[in-house]
Each structure stands twice: as structure tokens, then as C-alpha cells.
Chain A
Amino acid sequence: MKDGKIEFRIGCILTGIIAGLAVISLFYTPYDINEMNTAVRMQAPSLQHLFGTDNFGRDIFSRAIVGARFTLTVAISTVLSCTLISSALGLISGYVGGIIDEVIMRVVDAINSFPGILIALIIVTVMEQSNYTIVIALCIMFIPSFTRMVRTGTLQYKNTDFVKMARIFGVSGIRLALVHVFPNIFPLLLSSVIVGLSNAILAESSMSYLGLGIQPPAPSWGRMLSEAQSIIFTAPWCALAPGMMIVLTIVGLNCIGEGVRKRFL
């Protein structure tokens, strides 16, 4: 088998299952996610409740798949917006160079000297709490590494013969950057987008765990874990279900990333 194909397949299957569940939760959940049924408090997993119930009698499976939807939405919108912004910044920085490059890179460096979660914390502190705050926070957290990567790629291709040729033929600067340089950076960008997705999920669930991510009543994996922490001894499935969902998603995405990296780079 070709290098990286096994990883790619395992990754696709794992991520596919989670994403599929998230899509299904749009149309159907076995129980209402906020329905409290005191008769079935803290029940162990069974056929009625696949992942059991929590201390309010809410069905964990339903909550976990709806949580998947919210977490994945945050992760995808973060990575997409971040990729767009960083591609623009990186291309400008690398292609134009000079003082613009210097300014962009210094700001990126300064942001980079804060540990990721700290940036997210700052943004969450200074902005009004809403479900979108976390997207902006995570986006700013990922911009430095993406911008740097696009810039390095741009610098690398800027002086290749085919770009020089195109320039001789009178191709405009913008077209050169977008049509001739950018597509070559794309494979590199693709694998970091996938790694970015898994980092975004990790960061989002950490922030939700701290109560600073997606706001209630929307369920998210991180907050489910923090709610389950106090009852871990009597009802471990409350913590295991969302926790394992996170782990499986991350493993899946990392596998895809590894597969793409081995294939293209």
C-alpha cells in the first residue's frame, strides 16, 4: 500500500463517523438534550441510553452528538477564517516584502510569544460573551503560525523560474501571487489546516471546560466534562463519553494530517 494511505483511511473513517453523528443530530436525537428525567438519573450505558444518563437524567449520547455539532462548527469556522486571513497576510508579506513584511512579521512574532491559550483568554476577557467570541479568540491564536507558513512558502516560490517567466510575460502581481504562487503552497496549507482543526477542537474544548467557550444551554464536550468531574466516581460514563469523542476526533484528524503529509510532502 502507498505510504500514508492506511493512516488516511483510518482518519477518514473516524472523522467521518463523528461528523456523520454531528450531521444526524441536526435532524434527530434519541432524546431532547435538555430534557431532565429524574427517574433515570445516572444510569449506566444501556440500550435505552447508549452512553448512559447524567445526574439530571439527561441522555448523554444525545448531548454528545449535539456537542459534536457545536464543537465542529466552531473548529471549522475558526480554521476557515484563519486560513483566509493568514493566506492574505502571508502572501502580501512574502510577495511584497520590505517594510510591510517587517511590520506584519513583528506583530505576528509578538502574538506568537504569548502561549496560545493566553491569547484566547485575553480575547474572551475583553469581548462581550457570545458564541462567536471563541471563534475570534481561536482565530487570532492560530493566525501567527499559518501566516508564517504561507510567507515561507511564498518566499520559496517567488524566485522560481516559472514565476519569473510569468512575470516576463507581463502577468500582474496579484495574478502571480494568487494563480502561480498560491496553488503551490496549497498542499502544505492543507495539511496544516487539518492539524489546525484538531488544535482548534482541543482549544475549544479546553475553553469550554473552563466555562469560557460555547455558552449554555448549548452543550459542548468541554463543559460536559467539567460537569461530569464531580460525579466521576459514581458515573464515570458521563466523563468518558465526551472525553473519548474528543480523543477519537483528534486521532482521526491527526491521522488524516499524517496521511496527507506523507502523500504530498
Chain B
Amino acid sequence: MRYLIRKTLVLLATMFTITLLTFAAFHIIPGDPAMLILGTEASPEKLEQLRHTLGTDLPLLVQYRNWVAGLLSGNPGTSIRYSMPVADLVGSRLPVTVLLGLMTIILVIAASIPLGVFAARKKDTVVEQFINFFTMLGISFPGFFLSILFMWIFGLVLHLFSPGNYVSYKDNFGGFMQFMFFPALSIAIPEIAILTKYIRTAMIDELGRGYVRTARGVGNSVNGILYRHVLKNAIVSVIPLIGMMIGSIFSGSIIVEQVYGIPGIGRLLISSVTSRDFPLTQTLVLYVAMVIVVTNYIVDILIQLIDPRIRLSSE
């Protein structure tokens, strides 16, 4: 319980720092956002008008207070480019990115656990070298290159999906999932490579323990020990990594959404950056950071429930 309270306090403090940092980045470092949006040759009246709509003519503290108050009441401002409330823009794109992320996580877990166990089992053989080689390759392929390759090979040559023809999840859920499979795979492959490596190391550490020898001695089969005993213990040390992966999966999804033309949060973020739509970028950045912080908080709590030993060692 004490742990829970402490974690929650740290979470709140981190959230506060994040709002402060985001706000600072968009208000203190650059010159005048109105100038950046309109260019240096804009007329003073126009600049003044835009400053007023953006609210940048108010004192910084008031701006910050207004922004945070807006966030808390679910009204984080209006996008300049779309002239729409930011909340509406985010709302319509959120399910797409969430579904993509979930699919990626499922793919990552479904592939890396068996691969990691397999690699640990084949320790010191040629097979292990092969798996090492493939994990090395997996880390080295940038997501967008992988996506382009997939579009070419699976889309245009093998006709497994039609690139560019995005199917909305509202119209046809099956078609949507089919379309999303390759984007999800493009994000998943580097993560699979990393996770496989970690699971393998954790498994090998665990295989050296006494209980494995005992279990083998009493006549359990190798596979039985691996999946029923060793994996359970090894996975505990890997769960924090899955929490951290949320961030990199989102990073991957920003780029992959761009490649496949998926109308999700990532694409909205990039278009807001390229069109210098400050209110939208600011809110999106904050939103994403919050989601990641909260997910990590939940993962930390879950780890506690699964394995209370970690708390004792960290305190």
C-alpha cells in the first residue's frame, strides 16, 4: 500500500513536470510562434491578430494556467490548421492507433516468447547463431524501410493487401484488421528482435538454477520444465521491458502510419508538425507522454502484484 501511494505521488510529480516541460518547449525556447506560422514578412496587424487567437499575448503564467485548466476540463484548445477542437481531432484518430498498438503488442509477445525459449534451449549450437543473426538484422532495419519493403513484396508483388487503400474500422472491421497486419508487423519486428534477446538471456540465467536440475532429476520433460517452470520465472524480469516498449511502439507507429497512410495519431502529429500547428502539436505531445507514463505506472503496479520480491529489492 505504501508502495502504491509513493508510486502515485511520483506519477503525479512526473505528470506535472511533463506539462511544464512541454509548455516550456513551446513557449520559451522559440521566438514568436505567430511569426513562425506566418513568416517574417507578415503584416503587424495580422501577427497581432494571430497572437490574440493563439493567446500568446497573455503572460506566460496565465497561458500555462489556461492550458492546464483546458486539459483537465477536456478542452485543450483549437487546431489552427483544421479549425477544429483538438479533442475532436484526437477522438476520431485514437481508436486506429490504439488498435494498431494492440495488434503490435500481441504480435511481439506471440513471436518473441517461443523464439526466446527456443534460442535458450539451443544454446551453444548453430541454431543459436542463426537466431542471433536474425535478431541483429531485426534491430538494424528501420521501420519505414521495412514498411516500404512489405508494401512492395506483400502488397504489389504478392497482392496480399492493397497498399494505400485504407479500410476504416467502422466500415469493415475484418478488412481493417487485414490491412493493419503488415503495418503492425513492420513495427513489431525490431521489438521482437529485442525481446527475444532478453527472454533468451533471462531463460539461460534461470536454467542454471538448482530447481531446474531437480525437476529434470525427478523425470520432468525438458519442454515441460522450460514452459511450466523456467519461463514463468524468466518472464518476470522481462515484464518491465514490455512496459518500456509501449514508448518505442508508439514511436514506430508515428512513422509506419505515415508510410502506409493510416489516419491515426501519429499521422496527425506529423501533419501538425509540418504545418506548424502549435496548439495541436503541444496537446498531442503531452497526450502521448501521459499515456506512456500512465502505462508504465500500471506496469509497475502489475509487476508488484506478480512478484513482490522486486519491491523489497528496490526499496
> How far apart are the CA atoms of A209 and B250 in the complex, in Å?
17
Q: A113-B293, A125-B276, A206-B142 are in contact. Are A229 and B148 (CB under 8 A)?
A: yes
B110 within 8 A of A: no
Does A121 lie within 8 Å of B29, measured CB to CB?
no
Please give the distance in Å from A74's CB to the nearest CB on chain B. Answer: 15
Specify which chain B residues have a CB less than 8 angstroms from the CB of A198 in the assembled complex.
140
What is the total number of residues of chain B having a CB less than 8 Å from a CB of chain A?
Answer: 45
Main SS class of interface, A: helix
- Chain B residues numbered 28-75 whose CB sits less than 8 Å from any CB in chain A: 29-30, 36
Does A247 lie within 8 Å of B254, measured CB to CB?
no
A82 within 8 A of B: no
B162 within 8 A of A: no
B14 within 8 A of A: yes
Specify which chain A residues have a CB less than 8 angstroms from the CB of B151 in the assembled complex.
229, 232
Main SS class of interface, B: helix
Binds A, one of B95-103, B233-241, B284-292, B306-314: B284-292
**Residue from A115, A123, A126, A250 in contact with B288 in the complex, judged by beta carbons closer than 8 Å:** A115
> How far apart are the CA atoms of A117 and B269 in the complex, in Å?
11
Specify which chain A residues have a CB less than 8 angstroms from the CB of B148 in the assembled complex.
225, 228-229, 232, 239, 243
Does B140 lie within 8 Å of A118, measured CB to CB?
no
- Chain A residues numbered 124-176 whose CB sits less than 8 Å from any CB in chain B: 124-128
Please give the distance in Å from B22's CB to the nearest CB on chain A. Answer: 8
The closest CB in chain A to the CB of B164 belongs to: A230
Instruction: Tell which of A110, A124, A211, A228 has the most Cβ of chain B within 10 Å.
Output: A110
Specify which chain A residues have a CB less than 8 angstroms from the CB of B111 in the assembled complex.
none
Q: A202-B142, A232-B152, A254-B139 are in contact. Are A111 and B274 (CB under 8 A)?
A: no
Does B274 lie within 8 Å of A250, measured CB to CB?
no
A188 within 8 A of B: no
> How far apart are the CA atoms of A118 and B141 in the complex, in Å?
20
A109 within 8 A of B: yes
Specify which chain A residues have a CB less than 8 angstroms from the CB of B258 in the assembled complex.
209-210
